[in-house]
Chain A
Amino acid sequence: MEWETVIGLEIHAQLATRSKIFSGSATAYGAEPNTQADLVDLGYPGVLPVLNGEAVRMAVRFGLAIGARIAPRSVFARKNYFYPDLPKGYQISQYELPIVAEGALEIVLDDGTRKRIGITRAHLEEDAGKSLHEGLPGVSGIDLNRAGTPLIEIVSEPDMRSAKEAVAYMKKVHTLVRYLEICDGNMQEGSFRCDANVSVRRKGAEKFGTRAEIKNLNSFRYVEKAINHEVERQIELIESGGKVVQETRLYDPDKGETRSMRSKEEANDYRYFPDPDLLPVVLEPEVIESLRATLPELPDEKAARFVREHGLSEYDAGVLTASRELGAYYEDVARRVGRDPKLCANWVMGDFSAFLNRDNLEVGEAKVGSEALAGLVTRIVDATISGKIAKEVFETMWDSGGSADAVIEQKGLRQITDTGAIEAAIDDVMAKNPGQLADYRSGKDKLFGFFVGQVMKATGGKANPAQLNDLLKKKLAG
C-alpha cells in the first residue's frame, strides 16, 4: 500500500520588540523569574492592554515579504481557557480577522525543483508564561517573564508531503524572519517553534486523513523526527485495522516518539470573541506602502541576483543566502576582490564556513572578517600564493589573527614566480633522480606527477604551479 503524507505547520515566531505586545515590560530572555512581568502581564484587576505598534509593523513586514494580503482592518480576540501560566484566563490573539492573509513561500526540493507552500494566515498574539517543575518538589512554579511576549503565528496550508519538505519550509521561514530582523530565530530559547499537523492518506485519495497535531517542536531535527515517527505510527495503526483519532500529541525527543496529550473531545472550547479592550487595527494603504519600503532584499531575490550578476550556481546562491549575515559577508568579500566571485563563494562556503562550524561561531563572531578574507583571496587571484598555501594562511589568520599579507610575509610563503629559481630547482631534482628521469623519458608519463611533487617539496610548496608545469615539461622533454 502506498501512502501519502500531508503536513501543515503552525510556526510561532517571537517578535524582536523591546517591550511586550500589550505592556511596557522588557522581553529579554533569561531574567530571574517574574522580574519582567508588570501588573498588565500579571493580569491584575483593572489593568488594560495597550498594543505595541512595533509588533504590528513587524507583522506587516512579514506579510509583505511573503506576498500576502495585509488586512486593512484586523481584530484582536480573546481565546479563553484556564491555565496557571495564562494570567488573565484568556490569551489575546487574532481569530476571524488576522493581520496577514494568503501568502506563500517557495522551497527547493532535493531534486532541485521548486515547490510553492501556501501560507493561510499569520496573526499576532501574546505568548503565555512558563510552568516550572524542576527543583520545586510537590508544586509548580510560574514564571511570567514570557507572558505577553509578542508572537506571530504563521499557519501554512497542508501543502507539504514529507518531513523533509516541512523542514525546508520551516528553514525558509526561519531565514526570512531573520532577514527581516523581526525574530532572533533562537530555537533553544523558544523564539522560533512550531506545531505540526500530520495526516496520511492512500496515494491518489482526495480526502485528507484524520490529523494529529504535534505540539511545540523547537528544532529542525525534532520536526523531522517527530513527523517521521508520527507518519509511521499512523500508517501502522491504519494498516493494522485501527483509526487515527484527531488529537494533540507531544513529541518526546528522548524516546523519539509522540504520545497523546488530549483528544478532540477533551479539547478546550476557546469561546473566541473580539477583545473589547482593544480597538481594531486599521492600516491605511500609505502606512503599508511605507513599511514595504523598509523591506531588505529578500533571500530569493538575493540568490537570483547572485546567479545573474555573479554567475554563481543556484545551489551556491542558495547556500550563501540562507542567512542574511552570510550573504552580506560573501557580498563584501566579492566586492573587495572585484574578480572571480565563484572563488570568493567557494572560500565563504568552504574553509570559512567549516571554521565557523568547528568553533561553533556565528558569522558576526568570525575570527576572519570579510575584509581579511578578501585580502587572502586577492593574493590567490594575483598569484602571490597558491590555493593550497592559502589554506595554510587562512588557518593562521583564523587562529592567530593578522592580514593575509602579513602572514605570507612572516612565513615566507610568497609564491616563487622567478623562472630561474624554478629552473634551478628542476635541474636539481632531475640530477638527483636519474632513474626516474630515464623511465619518464622512455614513456612512463605518469612520473610527471612525481617530479612536480619533488620540485614543490624542494621549494616548500611555493613554486607557481602553472609556471612549474610549463618549465618541467620542457626540461623533462630534454
Chain B
Amino acid sequence: MTAPPSLPAPTVAGLARGLARGEYSSVELTQACLARIAAGQPALNAFVTVTGEAALAAAAAADAARAAGRAAALTGVPIAHKDIFCTEGVKTTCGSKMLADFVSPYDATVVKGLQAAGTVMLGKLNMDEFAMGSSNETSFFGPVRNPWDPTKVPGGSSGGSAAAVAARLAPAATATDTGGSIRQPAALCGITGIKPTYGRVSRYGMIAFASSLDQAGLITISAEDAALLLGPMSGFDPRDSTSVESAVPDYTATLGDSLEGLTIGLVREFFDNGLDGDCGQRVREAIAVYEKLGAKVREVSCPNLPLSVPTYYVVAPAECSSNLARFDGVRFGHRCDSPRNLADLYCRSRGEGFGAEVKRRIMTGTYVLSAGYFDAYYLKAQRVRQLISADFARAFGECDLMLGPTAPTTAFGIGEKNDDPITMYLNDIYTIGANLAGLPAMSIPCGFAGGLPVGLQLIGPHFSEARMLNAAHRYQQETDWHLRVPSAWA
C-alpha cells in the first residue's frame, strides 16, 4: 500500500502557521486529511464515521473567515472527535451496537468549544465500547489496529484517536480518560496524550462511563499542540456541576520556560516487577534528558498505589452500572424486535445492545452496590481512593511533577489478552492512580522497544497542566520521538 501524500506540516502548530501564512487553505488541508483517512480506514479502522462533506463545508467557511480577517489561532485546523462526544446531527455510537444508529440532537461542550475556536471536524473515532477496554477490541465496529504494527492493538479506550493521530490521518483528536484511556493508547502509538485535572474540562455531552473518573483530553503529536487545543476545551460549564470555576491560563505562554530547579519525583511503585525491562530503560533515558535540562530528580513513594487497580475496578463498574441504565430501549438506542412485555424489552434490548465487556462491568458494578456488599466493596474502595489521593498529595510536597512509565509493556497483539480480563486490566496499573486522585497526567513518546513506541508518563498536582505541558514541551525540544511516523504512514 502506498501512503497518500503527507500533511503539509508535522504538527498542529505548524499547520496553523501554514494556514495563517496562506501556504494552503483549510479546504486543501482537509482534503489531504480525508484522503489519508480514506487510505487508512481499511488498514486501521480508526474512524466510525467520516463527515467528509460537512468537514469540507466547515473548511470553506474557515477559509472565508480567514479571508474576512476573522481567523483565530486554530481556524481551519482539522481534528477528529472520539465517538464518545455527542455531535449534533452526526452519529454518536460510543463504540456500541446500543448506539449504532444514535444521532445526537446536541453538541458536547468540548465539541462546541473546539468548533468555536475554528477547528474543522473530520469525523468520529473508534473506541472501546462505552470506553471500557484497554485495547480497542471491545468496539462493536471492530478493533483498531496499531499503525506501528497492524497485528498489535493501539491501546484503548481511545484507540481510534491514537491510531488516527499516529498515522497522521488527523493532526489531533479529542479523547477521554477514565483509567488511562488517553495515556495508554498515546504510549502504545508513540504520540502525546493529556488527561487534564478532573473538572478542568466539561463532561457535558461526553457519554458517561464512570462519572467521578471520566475526563476529556487530547491526543496530539506534540505537547505544544496539546497546549494550543486544551484552552478552547477547558473552563467552567454551567451544564456540568463538577467542572471547576478556575481561570484557564494560556497554556502556550509557558511552554518554553526553563526547567531549572524543577523537582521531578520518580514514583517508586511505578518501577515494579511488572515493568518491561526495555520500557524501563527508555524511561530512565528520559530521566537523563530532564537532568540535562536542569531538573532535580528524586524518588517519591505512593505506598497505596498498588491498590489502584482493584479500587478502580470497584468504583468504575459501580458508576457504570448506574450510568448505563438509561439504555433501556425506551427512548433512544437499540430496541429489540417485538418485545413481549416490559421485562422482555429491557432484557433483550440490553442483552443485544451491549457487548461482553460492558456486561461484565455492569454486573460487577451492580454486585458491589448491592445490599450486603456495598460496605465491603464500594465503601472500602472509596476509602482506599482517599488514601491514594492522600499519598499523591504528600508526594507532591516533595516534588513538582511525578514521572514514570505510562504502560508496563509496549503494544500487545490483537486477541492476545482477550481471554483474561485481569491481565488486560493490569495494563492500566500506572495510569489509574491519576484518575482516582483527579490529577492531570500526560504520556509522551520516549523511544522504542522492539520497534514499538514507549510512553513516558508525567503526573502533576491539580490544575498544573501548564507546568506539565512546559516539561513535556522542553523534553520534546530535546528529542524527536514524538515526530516519528510509522513508515507506512510517513
The yes or no verdict on A and B being binding partners is yes
Interface residues of A (CB under 8 A from B): 39, 42-51, 78, 80, 82, 84, 87-90, 142, 269, 271-273, 276-279
Take A45-B102, A90-B325, A276-B319 as given contacts and tell me if A271 and B370 are in contact as well, using a CB distance cutoff of 8 Å. Answer: yes
Take A45-B326, A84-B330, A276-B319 as given contacts and tell me if A271 and B369 are in contact as well, using a CB distance cutoff of 8 Å. Answer: yes
Q: How many A-B residue pairs have CB under 8 A?
A: 101
B366 touches A88 (CB 8 A): no
Bound together, the chains give a CA A47 to CA B202 distance in angstroms of: 11
Q: When the two chains form the complex, which single residue of A78, A89, A271 contacts B328, counting CB atoms closer than 8 Å?
A: A89
Q: Does B247 contact A (CB under 8 A)?
A: no
Take A48-B240, A49-B241 as given contacts and tell me if A43 and B326 are in contact as well, using a CB distance cutoff of 8 Å. Answer: yes
A276: chain B residues at CB < 8 Å are 210-212, 242, 319
B325: chain A residues at CB < 8 Å are 80, 82, 88-90
Minimum CB–CB distance from A124 to chain B (whole Å) comes to 15
A46 touches B370 (CB 8 A): no
Q: When the two chains form the complex, which single residue of A45, A50, A80, A88 contacts B241, counting CB atoms closer than 8 Å?
A: A50
Minimum CB–CB distance from B128 to chain A (whole Å) comes to 16
Q: When the two chains form the complex, which single residue of B322, B330, B342 contacts A271, counting CB atoms closer than 8 Å?
A: B322
B318: chain A residues at CB < 8 Å are 273
Bound together, the chains give a CA A47 to CA B332 distance in angstroms of: 14
B369 touches A82 (CB 8 A): no
A50: chain B residues at CB < 8 Å are 238-241
Given contacts A48-B239, A89-B325, A271-B369, 8 further A-B contacts (CB under 8 A): A42-B331, A44-B331, A44-B332, A45-B86, A45-B99, A88-B325, A89-B324, A269-B371
Q: When the two chains form the complex, which single residue of A80, A84, A272, A279 contacts B242, counting CB atoms closer than 8 Å?
A: A279
Instruction: Give the segment of B103-111, B162-170, B302-310, B458-466 that binds chain A.
Output: B103-111
Q: Does B206 contact A (CB under 8 A)?
A: yes
Q: Does B312 contact A (CB under 8 A)?
A: no
Take A45-B86, A46-B207 as given contacts and tell me if A278 and B326 are in contact as well, using a CB distance cutoff of 8 Å. Answer: no
A39 touches B92 (CB 8 A): no
A48 touches B241 (CB 8 A): yes
A87 touches B326 (CB 8 A): yes
Of chain B, the residue at the smallest CB distance from A278 is: B241
21 contacting pairs across A/B (C-beta < 8 A): A42-B331, A43-B331, A44-B326, A44-B332, A45-B102, A45-B332, A46-B108, A47-B239, A48-B204, A48-B239, A49-B241, A84-B328, A84-B330, A87-B330, A90-B322, A142-B330, A271-B322, A271-B370, A273-B318, A273-B319, A276-B212
Minimum CB–CB distance from B42 to chain A (whole Å) comes to 29
Looking at A45, A48, A78, A88, the one whose CB has the most chain B CB atoms below 10 A away is A45
A49: chain B residues at CB < 8 Å are 241
Minimum CB–CB distance from A280 to chain B (whole Å) comes to 11
A78: chain B residues at CB < 8 Å are 322
Of chain B, the residue at the smallest CB distance from A131 is: B342
Take A88-B326, A271-B369, A278-B241 as given contacts and tell me if A45 and B94 are in contact as well, using a CB distance cutoff of 8 Å. Answer: yes
Of chain B, the residue at the smallest CB distance from A273 is: B369
Which of chain B's residues 290-318 have a Cβ closer than 8 Å to chain A?
318
Q: Does B208 contact A (CB under 8 A)?
A: yes
Of chain A, the residue at the smallest CB distance from B205 is: A46
Which of chain B's residues 359-383 have a Cβ closer than 8 Å to chain A?
366, 369-371, 374, 378
Q: Does B82 contact A (CB under 8 A)?
A: no
Q: Does B396 contact A (CB under 8 A)?
A: no
B242 touches A89 (CB 8 A): no
A89 touches B86 (CB 8 A): no
Of chain B, the residue at the smallest CB distance from A80 is: B322
B330: chain A residues at CB < 8 Å are 84, 87, 142
Of chain A, the residue at the smallest CB distance from B370 is: A269
| Shortest beta-carbon contacts, A-B, top 8 | A89-B325, A271-B369, A276-B212, A276-B211, A43-B326, A46-B205, A45-B207, A46-B86
B342 touches A84 (CB 8 A): yes
A279: chain B residues at CB < 8 Å are 241-242
B204 touches A46 (CB 8 A): yes
Take A80-B369, A84-B330, A271-B369 as given contacts and tell me if A46 and B104 are in contact as well, using a CB distance cutoff of 8 Å. Answer: yes
Which of chain B's residues 273-302 have a Cβ closer than 8 Å to chain A?
none
Minimum CB–CB distance from A306 to chain B (whole Å) comes to 45
A45: chain B residues at CB < 8 Å are 86, 92, 94, 99, 102, 104, 207-208, 326-327, 332-333
Of chain A, the residue at the smallest CB distance from B326 is: A43
Of chain A, the residue at the smallest CB distance from B379 is: A273
Q: Does B346 contact A (CB under 8 A)?
A: yes
Take A39-B105, A273-B378 as given contacts and tell me if A46 and B208 are in contact as well, using a CB distance cutoff of 8 Å. Answer: yes
Minimum CB–CB distance from B210 to chain A (whole Å) comes to 8
Q: Does B195 contact A (CB under 8 A)?
A: no
Minimum CB–CB distance from A468 to chain B (whole Å) comes to 76
Bound together, the chains give a CA A80 to CA B324 distance in angstroms of: 11
